[in-house]
Structure formats: C-alpha cells, structure tokens
Amino acid sequence: MSTKVLEKTITDLKRRVAKIEASMSTSRGGWKKIAGAAKDDQHFAEAMRLGAKWRKQANQENW
C-alpha cells in the first residue's frame, strides 16, 4: 500500500472510531434502568424456579 492510501485508511478509521465512541458515551441508564423490572412478575419467578430445578438435576447427574 502506498503512503497516501495508508493515510486515508487511518483517517477513515479514526473518524469511524470517533463516531462509535461518541455514540457509546451517551449514558442511557444501563442496568440501573432495568433493575427490578421483573419484580413480582409470575413468569420470571417461574422461569427462575424451573432454571434452578434444571441446574440441580443437571449437577446431580454429573456426579
């Protein structure tokens, strides 16, 4: 690759990285925004119960 092509590629990559970084720096609340969202949700509670049951059974089978 020529120097001009490399310089153009680097400039383009820098621009793209800056765009990605700018979009990531905007905080949207992250996990704090959804924490507790499943509280008192019967479907979530059932999923957790079934998952625990499955893990317990799977662990017993491996021994």
**pTM of the complete model:** 0.45
Q: E strands, 7-53, where?
A: none
pLDDT tens digits, residue range 4-48? Answer: 999 999 999 999 999 998 888 676 777 888 888 899 999 999 999
Both tokens of 3, joined, read: 């120097």
Distances in Å between the Cα of 50 and the Cα atoms of 17, 22, 30, 45 are 43, 41, 27, 9
Q: If pLDDT is split at 50, 70 and 90, which confidence band does 63 have?
A: low
When computed from its CA atoms, the radius of gyration of the chain, rounded to whole angstroms, is 24
For residues 33 and 28, give the distance between their C-alpha atoms in angstroms, rounded to a whole number: 8
pLDDT of amino acid 51: 97
